[in-house]
Amino acid sequence: MMKDKVVLHEYVLFGVFAFLILFKVLTGNFIFGIDLLWWLLGGIIGFLFVFCDRFVYSFLMRPDEALGTRLKDLFGRNKFVEGIITLLNERHEQKELVMRGVLFLLVWMIMALLTVTSVSSSFARGFMLGIGVHLVFDLIYDYFWNHGRFDLWFWQIKREVSQEEKRWFVILVSVMFGLLALNF
């Protein structure tokens, strides 16, 4: 399952890139140059950046849990690849991820709006797009196919969030992401 989702992540990222480039070509706003490469690099790094919340959870938020101590041991013995594989394989143990929460997603939307309207750096625009692609993909994936994980997106909200509110949140985020993505 994890390997399939990782592959699906890649398809989604490069599919969004291809769609946005095609959109720019069709609207006459496409310029091929070094800025395109910086934008793509920023998008890839932004997409991978979202995985950092697993490190934050394991090393800062819950360092005394079994996963945190196992990772410290692996990284302490310079077994980085094995540590990253363990981190990704044990992702179901990580419940309260910083970036996979409603509040972080709202902050990302505000930052993305500011980026779209005020930042000229291709790398920065791609970075913000990559973060958004990853977060919105995970949100939609969890909503449709991983309901237990989807409920964890609301861990920061200290009241019961109804299914109707969650559904509207997914719709709102998806529409906002679509509008923002067309301007990255």
- Name residue, tokens 């490469």: 37
If you compute the radius of gyration of the chain from its CA atoms, what whole number of angstroms results? 18
The pLDDT assigned to 2 comes to 56
Going by pLDDT thresholds of 50, 70 and 90, the confidence category of residue 174 is: very high
Q: Are residues 113 and 171 in the same domain?
A: yes
Q: Are residues 104 and 85 in the same domain?
A: no
Domains held by the chain: number: 2
Q: What is the pLDDT of residues 29-38, one digit of tens each?
A: 888 889 999 9
Q: Are residues 37 and 109 in the same domain?
A: yes
Going by pLDDT thresholds of 50, 70 and 90, the confidence category of residue 109 is: very high
Q: What is the pLDDT of residues 125-150, one digit of tens each?
A: 999 999 999 999 999 999 999 888 89
Full domain range(s) for residue 86 = 51-95
pTM: 0.86
Going by pLDDT thresholds of 50, 70 and 90, the confidence category of residue 84 is: confident
Tokens of 131: 């973060």
Quick one: which of 110, 95, 182 has its CA closest to 142? 95
